Chain A
């Protein structure tokens, strides 16, 4: 297939589509998912106020993570102009997180939530929906063919969009490995990468992902610099 390999980096796009339960979903390089038919933008694992959560425990990491995460979200909202936003849980790093939200960030978030439907799915870090922030809280939500929840379910499930695991894909090429946050799907389920500025990732070959996907249909969309890369299962290593 040598004539097909003439593609260069420029041939890779800032976003690419994946099909989940018959729905066309757009994976954005910034790590959010857009569902055109529903004009819905989905993000997962924002982990807002993770910095201050660490500071509380004596590690004074820069207090700018919330600002960085919100700025990136604002930018993507401006691009996709969704009518609805779903935050798939772990929106705050800990249950008190939203109470520590500094004034200016609170204002910024309210601005983002203005004039659109906003859904806070609860996660293990933030079991209750944030108070006084507006938006709707839910542990799970069904829209059309798709179910939105924080943790992926074991067993077979058609049309589930979740987060929680912070999936990362790793490839090895020319003796070098590259590891990036990714969307991972088998066409039935999809797990979103974490969106928060201070969130790390877990390799999709880790045992935590065992039994979640039909391995024969698995692929992942890895996030690059303003580009995404759709990569086949056989190239994704532990």
Chain B
């Protein structure tokens, strides 16, 4: 969180240090409308939630001659995003503000490290009296598809010919959950009949509230007034809603985006 605050402060300071260009007497600064098309990857980093009752597996290095193991079951989350934004860019201030619509799809998968022919882990789904029940699970997955509205502030402190460097800070709020689903693949087909019972042993499904705060460094290519292309590196950013994922605890997310900006109209 300190890193995020520092980067935001840096971005805002850059903005504060910019001076408006001198404009002819009586003339208003121009505003350029840009439409952004973006696509990218969003990778949340986190760890398996403690209340997901999974027994650790043998380490994949295990064998009779190297009989040490501290266990290994992994969770991996990835996301893809597509979006469109409308930006009002003020060249005199080298900055712009935008809002739009974005689709993000997250997939979380839990799987056990394989050993020999073993490609499953043990999920505890019932503890009744003295009886404890495990299921051999090949993978446990959670999918989230969300439509959100991002609002971004962009500052372009450096420009050289058709190349520029910019910083960005944004917030995003989910407006529609298109999918919030968990699925399980058992090692034994006979356990499919008990899917509902096993899933009931998991933590409650994730909430539907989705909001993030993020910052990015952008490398842009293109002349003013022409289509521009950007590569954005999403810096470690935060989910503002804590229980969006039911299988993992997220620490932060990072990612990369490609975008194309088309100028619409210059107004004075």
Q: Tell whether A pairs with B.
A: no
A interface with B by C-beta (< 8 Å) = none
